[in-house]
């Protein structure tokens, strides 16, 4: 009984540290998404006017989203360390699975877009107002849509 009493403060300290790390990782995720969103929002008008590649703006924002998903997944893993019930573990497992699948497909889309851009085949948005080419190499609206 004496040994059990000695362990309780250490367990409480570990739970407290884990909870703070969980919150810190969630905050990091929010900061990353906000930073990427602001950056994409600032660069979007240049992409609409044709001064910047729209795909590049999307890829940059997707990188931020992928990083935020990684922070969220790490946060979920920490939360499982302090979750006492099987119901909470099941919910966290489902959330972690969904985030992992989202991250997988987001990464795959980013790689496919990056490969298309590097091929130089001029991938263009279906929207006539958004050019995939910078203004110096911009195609006319007729060539983009036709």
The answer as to whether 38 is a domain residue is yes
Question: Model confidence over 74-109: pLDDT tens digits?
Answer: 888 888 777 667 887 888 888 888 888 988 888 888
3-state secondary structure the chain: CHHHHHHHHHHHHHHHHHHHHHHHHHHHHHHHHHHHHHHHHHHHHHHHCCCCCHHHHHHHHHHHHHHHHHHHHHHHHHHHHHCCCHHHHHHHHHHHHHHHHHHHHHHHHHHHHHHHHHHCCCCCCCCCCCCCCCHHHCCCHHHHHC
- Gap between the Cα atoms of 13 and 76, Å rounded: 19
pTM (two decimals): 0.67
Nearest to 103 by CA among 111, 92, 115, 113: 111
The answer as to whether 6 is a domain residue is no
Q: How many domains does the chain have?
A: 1
* Joined tokens for residue 6: 């000695």
Which pLDDT does position 15 carry in this prediction?
A: 86
- Gap between the Cα atoms of 47 and 129, Å rounded: 9
67-74: average pLDDT = 90
The answer as to whether 49 is a domain residue is yes
For residues 138 and 132, is the Cβ–Cβ distance under 8 A?
A: no
Which pLDDT does position 84 carry in this prediction?
A: 66
Say which residue, 2 or 93, is predicted with more confidence. 93
14-21: average pLDDT = 90
- Which residues form the domain of 40? 13-121
The answer as to whether 31 is a domain residue is yes
Which pLDDT does position 37 carry in this prediction?
A: 96
Which pLDDT does position 107 carry in this prediction?
A: 86
Mean pLDDT computed over every residue of the chain:
78
Which pLDDT does position 40 carry in this prediction?
A: 94
- Gap between the Cα atoms of 47 and 138, Å rounded: 11
Q: How confident is the model at residue 141 (pLDDT cuts 50, 70, 90)?
A: very low
The answer as to whether 145 is a domain residue is no
Which pLDDT does position 123 carry in this prediction?
A: 45
Tokens 């006539």 belong to 128
């Amino acid at each position: 009984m004496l040994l059990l009493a000695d362990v309780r403060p250490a367990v409480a300290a570990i739970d407290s540290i884990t909870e703070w790390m969980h919150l810190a990782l969630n905050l990091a995720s929010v900061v990353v998404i906000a930073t990427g969103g602001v950056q994409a929002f600032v660069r979007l008008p240049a992409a609409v006017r044709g001064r910047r590649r729209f795909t590049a703006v999307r890829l940059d924002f997707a990188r931020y989203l992928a990083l935020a998903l990684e922070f969220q997944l790490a946060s979920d893993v920490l939360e499982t360390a302090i979750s006492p019930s099987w119901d909470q573990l099941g919910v966290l497992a489902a959330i972690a699975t969904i985030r992992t699948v989202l991250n997988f497909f987001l990464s795959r889309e980013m790689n496919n877009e990056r490969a298309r851009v590097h091929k130089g085949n001029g991938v263009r948005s279906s929207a006539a107002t958004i050019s995939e080419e910078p203004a110096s190499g911009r195609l006319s609206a007729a060539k983009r849509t036709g």
